[in-house]
Amino acid sequence: MQKQEEQSLTGKEKVAAKASAHVTTNSTFIFITVTVFTFIITINNELLKQDKFLAIQLSLAMLLFIYATFSRSKLISDYTGFLDGFGAYIFALAFVLFMNSLGILMAQLISKQIGILFISIYMLMILVYGVVGNIARLKNNRKIRITKEITSLLLAFFLGLLHILNYY
């Protein structure tokens, strides 16, 4: 049924439907990020004062989710490949910063091992997602893309895992 609906949509309608779904996802992450930030400020604002890196990553995640939403909402009425790519990369960066923030919070509030495990599993899932996505792309005779996955892995490693391990 869904395939029939997709086939009946024009190119512009497909882009608008895809952009609308992305806006909904981005808006959800804005809400979650603001909620986590508000929770930290309410429960233990010293965490943000003590760990500036956590505060920076969480704040940037909020801001980037907002701009990813702006670029994706613009796609609903005015498609450009640049906006599509910009929105995708900004969302990926925001998501990594948010996941790093969660890992850092787990390390500080629960245990360092839990934070390390969280970030490590997240990094593993980035790899698995990239491999599965590229296998699907190869089956459809499309070019392999790994830049978002490599960027996400590097950011998770340097801004998340090494921070939890107190390397800086």
Cα–Cα distance for residue pair 88/98, rounded to 1 Å: 15
Query: In angstroms, how far is the first alpha carbon of the chain from the final one?
Result: 53
**Which is higher by pLDDT, 70 or 158?**
158
Which band of pLDDT confidence, cut at 50, 70 and 90, is reported for residue 8? low
Among residues 106, 96, 111, the alpha carbon closest in space to that of 57 is found at 96
Tell me the two tokens of residue 20.
């609308």
On the CB side of 143, CA atoms within 13 Å amount to 3
Is residue 110 packed enough to be buried (19+ CB in 10 Å), middle (13-18) or exposed (0-12)? exposed
Q: pTM of this prediction?
A: 0.81
The pLDDT of residue 1 is 45
Q: pLDDT tens across 67-116, in order?
A: 888 887 775 566 667 777 888 889 999 999 999 999 999 999 999 999 99
Instruction: Give me the pLDDT at residue 111, please.
Output: 96
| Rounded (10°) CA dihedral 113, 116, 119, 124 | -100
Least confident of 27-31, 39-43, 77-81, 88-92: 77-81
Query: Cα–Cα distance between 74 and 78 in angstroms, integer?
Result: 6
Q: Which positions ≥6 away from 61 have C-beta within 8 Å?
A: 33, 94, 95, 97, 98, 101
pLDDT of residue 156: 95
Q: Is the pLDDT of residue 125 over 60?
A: yes
Q: Is the pLDDT of residue 2 over 70?
A: no
pLDDT band for position 122 (cuts 50, 70, 90): very high
